[in-house]
Structure 1
């Protein structure tokens, strides 16, 4: 592993760029901005990537955890998007095998020929009203899906089951589910970690490329763009030739701030919420599969096993202010009602909801009456230089997680064209982060036994680290061999050395970064007041916090976990004080 720059070193590098012309400034550290950064770095372009929060903090950390071809997009005629998505899904299965895995998926079906007329009308753009789809229609779509899949992958072909076979496999299905169809897509276990690994790969391929989280764009004078470090308050000035606006749901906001004369409405975002529930009966029913279904109003929903829990989603609601996006109680009710539509005997009490998350999809502005009919395809919008700004602005509109590599590739090619340069390297076959040099599944056992012997580490611990970090676990095993490790008092699955390694090497700036995005502690429902206190104490020294600052960071983190994810019990005295304050007003 190459030397990792500390935050102070990154800030020094940014100061040195003041007054100089920077080829590319990318604003937005979601997956599309990160992908564009990586693509440009591979071509030797010293791009600068900044994000006002943490990497993959917003929509890119609130996905359904699916890596899929977009089966339902066939109905709206987006064949190119489906083919591209299937291709990129298969590439991720190959290039990120430590985080992306095949997922058998079942669609419950209520009729044989239902939905044919409605689907035809939607395909011809004569209607955008949702309607349920029958077995013949779904089989037609899956047959085409198979064709795309078999062109560049080895996923099994779909199957359609009759009434008896469906009832044997899915006895808990509602009586309306008379048939079922099964096929394979994929899921991703750690999307935020994959995003960080892309950044790390980019900086290693081009040492002059620089990525900084917690760095916000605050304005410009028409020649330079001013950035502000959210942690220290220090300001920096850059002169970009090309600005890449990868702000997602905030694209319009950034354009209005930096290029008001050429700005136009590009985004019509919708928010999607998901739940993580602890329900052993439902988990047993799923038995390793995803159920991909239409609820009572025709909205596509999902549920699949998630590390011993169940992930359920989602909603699709128009929203004007992305900063206000949270999973509301009404959305939780809606998701659970949708669950009961397909599994009527399953009751999920509020106490079983361990975690909720919500993100705003940066969809293109649209006048579609039904949100589900808004295209999930991506596009590039170029805003030329004008009197009030001297740079070209390339806006990344729309997109989906599965196709991030292709979208970043297209964006980078457009930037290269603006700079008068050409592509020198493709990322299509490049492994990502811990997916590099990872043995095939059949060779994993012997490889891990070898690692255990080399590093004098118990085999179960080696297996655990490989599952979390892929081949990057070797760096951590070296640290453990040199310094030893002590399991956390309140979570024996993590150690002091492991968390210290993540803080030092993975641009952790806030406690939330560590709990939500560098580890799966939050989303898997494993946080407790004692554990979060213990981790805050461990993080204080490497992050340079005084005891007073540690308490402030701890309280702020708990507020965010409560507001964004429904975790209200992590700092009981904090919420008692806030409740008392409100009641006294």
Structure 2
């Protein structure tokens, strides 16, 4: 008998599983695909307060998100780091005074100030203005953070597992019913094709876009669907500009679009906000969305791009709480937790954003009001690999490179960023590159692949190339085929 059965292996499910396991609860998390396979790996990859949410007066959400931004930087400095944003002022859109007020609030809504505050810029005299059209002569700069989103999910699941939780990927909860004071659930393992029955006192429905469907069909709980599906798509092009800065570009439809340095040689552009009515399975960008994002860049950058410049794209369906807003961009990004206690409880998670996942998990356990629960703890406990001495990633990287001098700089940086202090678990006693085994494209080696299978539930090439890493951008068909052959001989279930 488990205390919690968590349905869904996205950021909210993994965060709740981690928090609960650390408080002494027995936890089973089931994800019918790979961890972070859907919405949680399709974000803009930012840990941020949400500057534009101030226009919708969501001050509580922004304040909480800014506080979490500072906290998560300390807990995972390997996968979360500061990013400076340039906001050009377009005289035909929001007035400069309004932008200044918004940035002032953004600077001061949080009591914590680990990042530099905002500033005014003369773009014609500042190097960050070089990629922009000459008409954009004024602007502002402010700070937020980058996050490796799918790795954030995996690290939460890994920590949950190390604290006693059972993590089952590629395992579907086919049905669950209230029976004899608990939930009886039927699981289907896609790898073994076996079905089994488990019992749990409480179900946490963190199924993301499937939250409403899970309530009605899987759990047979009669409830009015409160989820509003919105598709967000991103495109990736070859690098459009030099420098580490990102750009936040205002649009005539009052939306904003980001252009962000990505994986060293690329630029990430997004996102769209499109109402979505179809099933929330595998989704792809539409030609209209691609054109829209290209037009957004062309409205501000001197260098024009078109659909032929897109080297990769990805899309996800956001399960937002339906607050009846007419415009998809205006729908709240705040989260709502709904408890059905007509028998053994089921807690459903609606909405939310990746930045506030940890607080959402704390609020979820508070909502369950379990007697004898250990105190909240995740606010001060580093994620796996995040125990970097003093939180100084640059010093850690320098020491890491000194310990493994045979690694090319690009590879040592990637390993340090992805795994932090646990990169040593992969490299072990290696003293040459050949010690790492077969080399795949993009610097991936057999030793890293075997670690991901053993410790991080990786099973298929996409798990590794697009979620545990982003080496899919550098891997051709032959490389994928070689990786698939290697994985075929290593199917032992991790965890």
TM bucket (normalised to shorter chain) is over 0.9
Distance 2:188 2:247 in 1: 45
Task: Show CA shifts across 1:73-121 (max 9, x none).
Answer: 112111111111011111111111101111110111123xx7xxxxxxx
Q: Deviations over 1:273-326 (max 9, x none)?
A: 0011114xx222xx2111112223221111011022000011101112212521
Contact 1:34 1:195 in 2 (8 A): yes
| Aligned partner (choices 174, 187, 191) of residue 218 of structure 1 | 174
**d(CA) in 1 for partners of 2:469 and 2:412?**
17
1:503 paired residue among 444, 448, 453: 453
Residues in 2 aligned to 1:94 and 1:445: alpha-carbon distance in whole angstroms: 16
Change (3 A) 1:155 1:187: same
Q: Deviation of residue 198 (structure 1)?
A: 1.2
- Tell me the equivalent position of 2:96: 135
Q: How many residues align?
A: 484
Give the Cα separation in 1 of the matches to 2:398 and 2:283.
46
Match of residue 173, structure 1, among 120, 132, 150 = 132
- Does the alignment pair 1:484 with 2:435? yes
Moved more, 462-471 or 497-506: 462-471
Counterpart Cα distance in 2 of 1:445 and 1:475: 15
Structure with max Cα Rg: 1
**Aligned-pair CA distance for 1:481:** 5.8
Whole-angstrom distance in 2 between the partners of 1:219 and 1:29: 17
Kept in 1: contact 2:291–2:306 (CA 8 A) = no
Shift of 1:521: 1.1
Counterpart selection for 1:538 from 475, 479, 486: 486
Indicate how the Cα distance of structure 1 residues 239 and 448 shifts in structure 2: closer, same or farther if over 3 A, else same: closer
| 1:311 aligned partner | 268
Equivalent residue number for residue 65 of structure 1? 45
CA distance in 1, matches of 2:362, 2:159: 15
1:12 equivalent in structure 2: none
Q: Could you tell me whether the CA contact under 8 Å between 2:24 and 2:374 is conserved in 1?
A: no
Change (3 A) 1:221 1:32: closer
Does the 8 A contact of 1:267 with 1:365 survive in 2? yes
| Matching of residue 427 in structure 1 with residue 386 in structure 2 | no
Are the aligned partners of 2:251 and 2:296 in contact in 1 as well (CA < 8 Å)? Answer: yes
Q: Which has the higher strand share?
A: 2
Deviates more, 1:358-367 or 1:347-356: 347-356
2:224 to 233, 257, 264: 264
Q: Kindly indicate whether the alpha-carbon contact (under 8 Å) linking 1:262 and 1:384 is maintained by their aligned counterparts in 2.
A: no
1:274 aligns with 2:226: no
Q: Please state whether the residue corresponding to 1:434 is helix, strand or coil.
A: coil
Indicate how the Cα distance of structure 1 residues 544 and 68 shifts in structure 2: closer, same or farther if over 3 A, else same.
closer
Q: Displacement of 1:446 after TM fit?
A: 4.9
Provide the TM-score with structure 2 as the length reference: 0.92
Contact 1:143 1:158 in 2 (8 A): yes
**Cα gap change, 1:368 to 1:463, in 2 (>3 Å):** closer
Where structure 1 has 5 or more consecutive residues not aligned to the other structure, the ranges are 1-20, 115-131, 546-585
Partners of 1:437 and 1:261 lie apart in 2 by 45
TM-score after normalising by structure 1: 0.78
1:191-234 superposed Cα distances (whole Å, 9 cap, x missing partner) = 212211111112222x2x21111111112344212111122221
Shift of 1:259: 4.0
Structure with the higher fraction of residues in helix conformation? 1
Moved more, 81-90 or 359-368: 359-368
Q: Per-residue deviation at 1:429?
A: 1.4
Question: Where does residue 299 of structure 2 map in the other structure?
Answer: 341
Residue 153 of structure 1: how far off its partner (Å): 2.6
Name the SS for the 2:321 alignment partner: coil
2:360 to 407, 418, 439: 407
CA contact (8 A) 2:294 2:306 kept: no
- Kindly indicate whether the alpha-carbon contact (under 8 Å) linking 1:283 and 1:309 is maintained by their aligned counterparts in 2: no
Structure 1 contact 438–470 (Cα < 8 Å) conserved: no
Distance 2:153 2:29 in 1: 13
Distance 1:443 1:104 in 2: 21
CA positional deviation for 1:62: 0.2
